[in-house]
Amino acid sequence: MSMSAKLRRAPLRIVTGAYIVNSGVSKLTADDDAAKTLHDTASGAYSFVGNMQPKMLARGLGVGEVAVGAAVLLPFVSPFVAGAALVGVSGALLNMYWKTPGMHREGSPLPTEQGMPYAKDVWLLGAGLGLMADAAFAPAHDKVVELETVVSRKRGKAGRRARRSARKAADQLSAGTDASRAAAKRIVEVRAEYAPVVATKARKTRDATRDAARDAAEQYGPVAAEKARAARDAAEQYGPVAVEKARAAGKTAKQWAEEYGPIAAEKARDAAETAKQWAEEYGPIAAEKARTARDVAWQAAEEYGAKARERVAG
């Protein structure tokens, strides 16, 4: 039984238990007139009570009510048992109220002035039924509360894990940003440190190239000019002879063309037919050889190309 359930039932149990204990004590100390009045009222509803002595009946009822009141007050007594005891006591009182003439209106449960002190005991019935119902449904309610508590704890743990993950991600992002800033700063420092050196090297290379070109021009320029003048003189000296030789060669070629042209054409046709025959005969073989040679070449290129790339990479 949870502490919340005990605290929830405590006011009802204290009030009803104290009331019943007080009623039982008053019956234990009742005088003869009170005991006789109680005996007359009870014997009207329960005939077997008529054979009992009034004092004995009062004391018996007092002991019973004190016992019921104590059961209701004691916290270790089950609320269902305490509620059942209250229902039993209130049921007996209400039954006596109903069977006693003059305590309620004819055909109605509404009390008369005489039955008002007994009719109010109906609240004991309500208290007993409430304790029994609460005890019956408490396990389910406590289970729901327990589940809600477990779910709340798990949600809290999940929330804490999520917050830790978010903080970790933020720290990692901050570390990455710091590393990026450090890398950018280092690049700026390297650029500032080596940029003047690179510029100086470029100027020296440009000056050395310009000086080498100027020295080569000074050294080989006169020789080239002399060679050019010699070529021009040779062209002026041998140019007419070359032209005459060319005209003579042209005439000879024309005579040979007129003389041997038909024969050459015939030979060319025979050669073309022969080449065509050879192409038809040996063309497939040559194509197969060419494909084989191409495949071998591709394999060799791939093999030695890979080796060459490995050597270059090494």
User: Which helix (H) or strand (E) segment is 197 a member of?
Assistant: helix 122-313
User: Does any domain span residue 258?
Assistant: no
pLDDT tens digits along 259-275? 877 886 788 688 778 86
pLDDT tens digits along 91-101? 887 877 777 77
Q: Which residues form the domain of 109? A: 3-157
User: Does any domain span residue 57?
Assistant: yes
Residue 277, token pair as written in the block: 């025959």
Sign of torsion over alpha carbons 223, 226, 230, 235: positive
Given a cut of 80, whether residue 58 has pLDDT beyond it is: yes
Contact status, residue 3 vs residue 146, Cβ threshold 8 Å: no
User: Which helix (H) or strand (E) segment is 286 a member of?
Assistant: helix 122-313
Predicted confidence at residue 43, as pLDDT, reads: 78
Going by C-alpha positions, the residue among 11, 85, 87, 92 that lies closest to residue 57 is: 92
pLDDT tens digits along 122-134? 888 888 888 888 8
Instruction: In whole angstroms, give the CA distance from residue 241 to residue 243.
Output: 5
User: Does any domain span residue 280?
Assistant: no
User: Does any domain span residue 149?
Assistant: yes
Give 111's strand partners.
Answer: 104
Please give the residue that has the higher pLDDT: either 85 or 222.
Answer: 85
Instruction: In whole angstroms, give the CA distance from residue 103 to residue 100.
Output: 6
Residue 75 DSSP label? T
User: Does any domain span residue 269?
Assistant: no
Residues 197-224, mean pLDDT to the nearest whole number = 75
Going by C-alpha positions, the residue among 128, 6, 25, 129 that lies closest to residue 67 is: 25
Amino acid at 273: E
User: Does any domain span residue 186?
Assistant: no
The structural domain count of the chain equals 1
Residue 92, token pair as written in the block: 């007996």
